[in-house]
Every structure is written in C-alpha cells, then in structure tokens.
Amino acid sequence: RSRHHRESLTAAPPETTHITLLETNPCLVHYCNKGRECILDESGEASCVCQRKCPEVEGRRGRRLVCGSDGHIYSSHCDLHRTACLSGISVSVRRGVHCIKHGKGWANPEHEAQWLRPSPTTPITTTTAVNTVATITDATMLTTETPVMVSSEIPEEMTEPAVVDNEIESGEFMGKENPDGCTMQEYEIMKDNLLLYNHARLMSQDNHSKDYLVSIMFSHYDSNNNGNLEPTELNEIAREEHLNSLSSGCSLEDMINFEDGDRNGKLSINEFYIAFSKLYSVSVVSLDKALETNRVTARVGDNVEIKCDVTGSPVPPIVWRRNHLDLSTIGEEEVRVFADGSLYLTRIQLQHAGNYTCHAQRNKDVVQTHILTVHTVPEVHVTPRIQSKRPGEDVVMYCHVAGEPFPKVEWLKNDEPLHLDSPKKYQIVGNGTALRIRKIGFADTGAYMCQATNTGGLTRDISSLVVQEQPTPSAPNEERRFFAFHERGVSVYEPTTCRLYHQIQSTDIIPGTQESVCGGKGVKCVWGRAVNVANRYVYATQPDKDRILIISKVQMVVVDVVATDKFPVDLYYVPHLDQVWILNWRSTNNTGIKTVQVIRDAGQKRKHHTVHPEPIDGQFDLVRGLFIPSPNQELSHYSFKYGYVTHTNQRGLYKLDLANLRYTRSVDLTPYNCVPAQVQFSALYGLVIMQCLEPVTGHPTGQLLLDYLTDTVVATKPGLPGVPFISPDSRKLVTLDRTDSGATLIVQEITPTGVTFSFDVKTTLNISDITFYPSETTHSYDIYASAQDKEDILFLNLLTGKVEIITGVGRAMAPEMAKWGNPNRPIGGSGLFGQYMVTPANEALFVINGRSRTVNCEIGAVAHPSSIVWTTLKYH
C-alpha cells in the first residue's frame, strides 16, 4: 500500500488506480490510533473502533513481554494498545523498567509512596542533608516493625500530558518472576531497603563505600562464619531484625532464589556482592539547598553540558526532564543524556531556552531545576548604506535590531557618541529605529553607526552621509519589485513609481516546451499560491494543471515546470534546507486527502522535481493540513527542523523531520479536544501556537501552546478562538477572531515565561488578511489588515493599541470568488525596510505606503489578482 509514497524521482503523479482505491475504501484514508482499527458502518462511513483481535506473536526468543506505564505486563504492543483502548485509559510503553505484576492491583493507593523512615538512634548522615528523602517526620514510626521502606516507582506517564506511543525506542521486558509471588520489582525494592536499613544501622557515623557496607552485612549475616549464607541464617536474621516487612512478597530467603549462581543452595560472598552491585537506588539522595535552581546561560550555537547535582552513594542514575517529559526518550540528537547523569545540549538554539530538571531515577522528590537562558549576538541592519545630500537638507537613516535579550541600541558618529544635547540637530526615533539630522552642514559628513549591545555581544552597522554642494546621485543599493498573479498571467511592477516591468501572458509559450503558461486565448490563469525562493525564483502553483511554474526573478520568464500530484495549492519555502514543500489538495475542495511533496535544492539552477516524504506506519500519508515554519522569522536561522501535519478530525499532530522527509513522532491532543486548524512557530522560546477546533462540528476549542522541543502542551487558552499570526521577531502574537459583527484582534506578547495578554481591538470591519509591518518607534512590528467588503485598510499599532484607517483602496473581489483557500483581499508587505505593501482589489492593485499610511498608487486593469510575491534586487 505504501508503494506510491516511496520517493519517486520521476515525479509521476499518483496513478489513477490509487485514487479509485481511496474512493472505494474510506478506511484507507481514515487514520486510527494504535490499538484501534478502521471499520465501515452500514452507511459506508469509516470509523475507528478498538482492535478486535491482536495477531499471535511468535518470537525466536520466546515471549517478548511489554511493560505498560500502568505497571501491567502485556503480551505484545498490540495487546497494550488494545487494552488501553478498551479501558479508555492512556497507557504507553515503558522502557528499561521492571513491571510489577500481571493483573490488576498496582494503581492502588496503599502501594504508593511510602517514604523512607530511618531510626532515631541511627540517623542517616549525608554531607548535605538538606533536601533528602530522609526527613525524619514521624516519631511514632520509629518503634514499629517497619525499619525502612523505599517507595516503589509510581508510573509517571499517567500524570503527564499524553504523548502517544513514543515508541522510537520501545521497551520490552523479558518476563522473569519467582513462582512464590516475589517479583523482580519487589525483589529490587527489598534489596534497596535492606541496604538502606543497614546503611542506617551500621554506618551512622561514616560514609564508606557500598562495597564496604555489603561486606559488613555479609559477615553480620554469616552467623556460623562458614563463608556462606544459608537459608536458615537468612531466615534467622530476618526474624531477629524484623526484615520481612522490607517488601511485600519477598523475603530475605528469596535472595537465594535470585542470586545463587552456582545453584548450591547458599550464597557465597561473591554472589552476595553481585546481588548488590546492580542496585542503584540505595542510600540517600541529596541535593544542596543552594543548588536547587541553577542558572545556565548559553549563546546560540554553543554546546553545553549540564551536570546534575543530585547525588547519592552510589551515584544514582539520573533522569532529565523538560515539561515532565523524559529527555532520553525524545530522540533528538542535539539533546542527549549521558550515562554519567549529565545533560548534553549541542548547537543550542533559542528554542532550547527554558527549564530542565533532573532527579534520581527512583526518587522524584529531590529535583534540581536548571534554568537555561539562551542569548544571541545582536543583528543590526541600517538603510540607506550611503547617501549624499546638500547642506541645509534634513536626512534620516533607519536601523533595525534583533536579538535576545533585546539589545540596547545607540547611534554613534565616527565611533563617538552623538551630542544629543543639541536636540534641534539630532532626533532619535523610538528606541533608535531611526536617526534624523536637521539642517545638515559639511561637518555632518561621516559614518553613522547603529550599535546594539546585549549579553551576547555588540554589533554595529554603518550608514554613511556625505554632505556636498553637488550631491552625487547615489543609486539605491537595492530595489524591490512585486510579481502579481492574475487571470491573464503574471505582471512585475516597481512599487514607488508603480511602473510595469514585465508581463508574462497567459498564452506565452514556456521556453523549451510546447506548452503555454495558462492555455490558449481566452483561457483564464488559475493560481494557487506563490512564494519567493532564495530571492532567485518565484514558485507558483497551478492547481488545475498539476504543476508548479518556476519563474526567474531577474529574467522574469518561466525557467522550469515541475509536475506534481493533483491540484497543488500551498507552497512553503524552507531557506536553510533550500526546500519547497507542496500541499496537493487532490480535489477542488479543501479536504483531508491531500498529499505532501518536496522540491529539493529549490534555489539551485537545475531541473527540479518532486519527491514524497516517507510513508507513515506503512500507510498513505494523506493529510488535512501541513504546517511549516515561516521563512520570515528573525533569529530563527537553522533552528526550525520540524513541521507538522494533521489528518481529518484527528486530535493530534504528526511531527515532520524536514531534512529527512519523515515523521518522527505523534502528539496526542485528545485531552484538549483539539484538531489543529492553524499552527504558528515562535523562534524565541520555542513555542508552537495552535488554533484548535472540535472534530466534526468545527467549533473553536481555543489556543494551545506546545513546546517545540518536547511537543508537550505548556499552556491552554480555551477561551481564545481565532487564527494566530506571529510577528517576524516572535514577540507579538495577534489572533484574528472573525465574528458575525466584524472581528476581534487579540494582541499577546511572547515572553520568556509564556504568552501574556496585552489588549484586544474590536472592529466591525470583516477582516480578510493581516500583514506585519516594521514599527517606526520600536524594533518590533505593527499590523495592517485588509477588509473583505470595505474599501478600507486598518492599521494597528501593537505597542499602543492605536488604530488608523486608510480609505479608498478599491473593492475586493467577492469572497466567494476567492479560490484555493486564498483570502479575497490579500495584503502583503515587502519585508524589512520595505516601505510598501500591496493589496489586490477586484480589478486593480493598490500599493500602500506604510510609513505615511497613504495609497501610493492604484494599478488598474488587472484581472482578479490573487497572489503577490515580493523580490529584492541587490546592487553592490
């Protein structure tokens, strides 16, 4: 069944048989979670039910048992998932632990944490006994029959946000059980307790090695001094010292069952040593109070090793977690837990910032928190790079700064601070976003530096000013143009003069082929989306032609045609991998049978073709949505390694490894009743922001925040409906909630501690689309929003909440005419220092000047423009 989804280097669209198959069997496109299977009901609708039967498992090494997070042993993975489905409880596979018992009875309160209770005359000493398990709290316990007790491990996954079936490293457990009911788990606990008891009893004043302790124990137990421990000796000592309550089900005598390697019915000193050599959770785990929280700072790109200060004797195995998820299970090469208990983070990105905790495997009470702060070297860009002016004129230069933490911004002239005491001369706008110089004289010639400083370092960029009587006309160092896709082809314009540069007609023959751009005379072009690729090409989907056109930015002609699956619509460019991701709808309707394809080396000059990502679970990867981080995010660099896909009505996500074109994990959002409809990625602090809908009804269920690293849910905003948009600097989150009477824009701030509400704005405008525009007074962004049915553009200052309206931008095309999920009134800015935005009306293009908030020009006689792509030409 997965045949069609192997990499197809010839880029053949799927065969028709494949499509017929899907139409006749809805189960092929209906995804069921593990432990469930798809069935067709009487009306032929697909639905998921608990798997009716598990296949018989025959293994060469006998029965491979699976240990569940509920503490039960299952005969197979299928058995585990099926049982979980039938009981309605989330159970995952546990690795590297011993299960308790068959049957019920584990999740029983009386089995839960019964902490260590040391005896008063023999206090356990630790060097820094501040935060240990051994808190002597209950004096009445001291005289009871129970000398010590170590808690059994509580199945932790049960209390955590569900991450389904993270079976990249699945855990299997070879059943080993003593017939008399003393399980491995209980036996281990007994040995632990025995050691703790003896530690407390025999070694109150010293902290010798465990081996020493074990040797003392041996000689103490070997009452006849014959160098062996016989069952009678063990029973006797257990009776004398009331050791039978060390564990439920195991007695001291069981040591002979488990440890008697040579089967001579008694334990030698070697066998006794071996019995304790594998134990780890002995003795007291401790952490110096002063080390409870540890601050770690790192710069993007650094490698950091973090040591866990939770100690014990012997050194206990350490578990590292982030948002409660065990980091040894996330399969992330940049996040590794070493055997010595340290955490190793390589090529740190902003997303790695946050809290990491560590604790001993068998003791979750002593926890150390490491707060990792990640900073970047500031990024600074100025414009213009050079300008030449007459004396007496006013000049302005702009600076944009990005960095974490946000840097201090200053302007310097020729390395010296500006003399700001003459305010009539210099005016610094906002936080240094612009420098104005009034009535310049020859002395103002110089190199003006915008300088940004934070803990990550210092960066400068220079804007030069030359004051001359006869200014040399300086050619701009770059020029922006936009490609407008409309029914008669593609037109390329310059936004300042609104001059048409070039026109690709629908009837033009594509060079090197016999085909025309859109078809013969009178055939209207149909465009899906268009994107800028490496500022070298513009890629545009032609849904009705099952292909992508690649247009050269400079030559402004079609240079390549790439065949795709049926109805390609959405396009995403991933700059650091030079990939274009395509979402093929395979229908004229927006349904859940879409396929994903990738064009690699998308910005390279070569013949391009598509490949499919790897199949998932051997099934067709037919998806509902594809979510790829935006290429416009500042500070993101190489950090976005993943995207996500969704399936129809599935309350969850599949995580997509972009470089390797394969799925790595699934994320279960059932507890939040969330079918993700829109996903945004924040480079800062690694947040994934999702708009959630209910399955079937499609009612909003609010916003969810996920940690990009662990895919755990870190915050829920059930009362916040609407489509999220994130600013390019990842500091503002604007949610557009369309209502019957217009729209509400909810503005939130992204901070190191999460997303916080700033303000909201209600408008009666029916908002169609939103674009971010660099703020004039901060280094962040404001928004412009277009309207579905009014000739107005709304401007919203995201710092102050101030609103302005730009009027007279023409009538948009009727909302029902907008196809392929496009807004009927798109609006798009031209990026940093790009002064202009373009918004297509029904039969025209409007160029908006975002600085003056006026209409710069109207370009008429453009038939139903649907997409705009900005490009930059750089002159050096």
Ligand X SMILES: *[C@@H]1O[C@H](CO)[C@@H](O)[C@H](O)[C@H]1NC(C)=O
Residues that bind ligand X (CB under 6 A): 127, 207, 293, 354-355, 369, 371, 406, 408, 431, 587-589, 742, 753, 764-766, 778, 789-790, 799
SS3 258: helix
Using CA atoms, how far apart are residues 303 and 334, in angstroms rounded to an integer?
9
Please identify, using beta-carbon distances, which residue of 405 and 631 lies nearer to ligand X: 405
Please identify, using beta-carbon distances, which residue of 267 and 796 lies nearer to ligand X: 796
127 phi and psi angles, rounded to 5 deg: -65, -35
Nearest to 142 by CA among 242, 18, 11: 242
Nearest to 360 by CA among 155, 132, 106: 132
> What is the nearest approach in angstroms of ligand X to the Cβ of residue 444?
26
Please identify, using beta-carbon distances, which residue of 186 and 737 lies nearer to ligand X: 737
Beta-strand relationship, 457-467 and 386-389 = parallel
Beta-strand relationship, 363-375 and 293-299 = parallel
- Tokens 């281990």 map to which residue? 188
Please identify, using beta-carbon distances, which residue of 137 and 753 lies nearer to ligand X: 753
Which contiguous run of DSSP H or E holds residue 661?
A: none
Please identify, using beta-carbon distances, which residue of 650 and 766 lies nearer to ligand X: 766
Please identify, using beta-carbon distances, which residue of 207 and 474 lies nearer to ligand X: 207
> What is the nearest approach in angstroms of ligand X to the Cβ of residue 283?
11
646 beta partners: 625
Extract long-range pairs of 553-556: CB within 8 Å, 24+ residues apart.
Answer: 553/871, 553/873, 554/873, 556/492, 556/501, 556/502, 556/504
Nearest to 14 by CA among 546, 646, 648: 546
> What is the nearest approach in angstroms of ligand X to the Cβ of residue 432?
8
Q: Judge whether 454 and 409 are in contact, CB under 8 Å.
A: no
- Tokens 């931008």 map to which residue? 809
Close Cβ partners of 479 (under 8 Å, ≥ 6 residues apart):
494, 872, 873, 875
Please identify, using beta-carbon distances, which residue of 246 and 705 lies nearer to ligand X: 705
Angle at which helices 210-221 and 231-240 cross, to 10°: 100
> What is the nearest approach in angstroms of ligand X to the Cβ of residue 705?
11
> What is the nearest approach in angstroms of ligand X to the Cβ of residue 814?
11
Please identify, using beta-carbon distances, which residue of 452 and 580 lies nearer to ligand X: 452
Using CA atoms, how far apart are residues 674 and 652, in angstroms rounded to an integer?
7
> What is the nearest approach in angstroms of ligand X to the Cβ of residue 514?
30
Please identify, using beta-carbon distances, which residue of 575 and 823 lies nearer to ligand X: 823
Please identify, using beta-carbon distances, which residue of 36 and 408 lies nearer to ligand X: 408
> What is the nearest approach in angstroms of ligand X to the Cβ of residue 278?
21
Q: How many C-beta atoms lie closer than 10 Å to residue 767's C-beta?
A: 24
Using CA atoms, how far apart are residues 463 and 852, in angstroms rounded to an integer?
23
Omega within 30 of 0 (cis) for the link into 314:
yes
> What is the nearest approach in angstroms of ligand X to the Cβ of residue 49?
26
> What is the nearest approach in angstroms of ligand X to the Cβ of residue 589?
4
Please identify, using beta-carbon distances, which residue of 293 and 604 lies nearer to ligand X: 293
Q: What letter does residue 833 receive in the DSSP assignment?
A: T
> What is the nearest approach in angstroms of ligand X to the Cβ of residue 373?
11
Which contiguous run of DSSP H or E holds residue 719?
A: none
Q: Which two tokens stand for residue 601?
A: 């080396």
Beta-strand relationship, 293-299 and 267-268 = unpaired
485 phi and psi angles, rounded to 5 deg: -100, 125
- Tokens 């404001």 map to which residue? 782
> What is the nearest approach in angstroms of ligand X to the Cβ of residue 709?
13
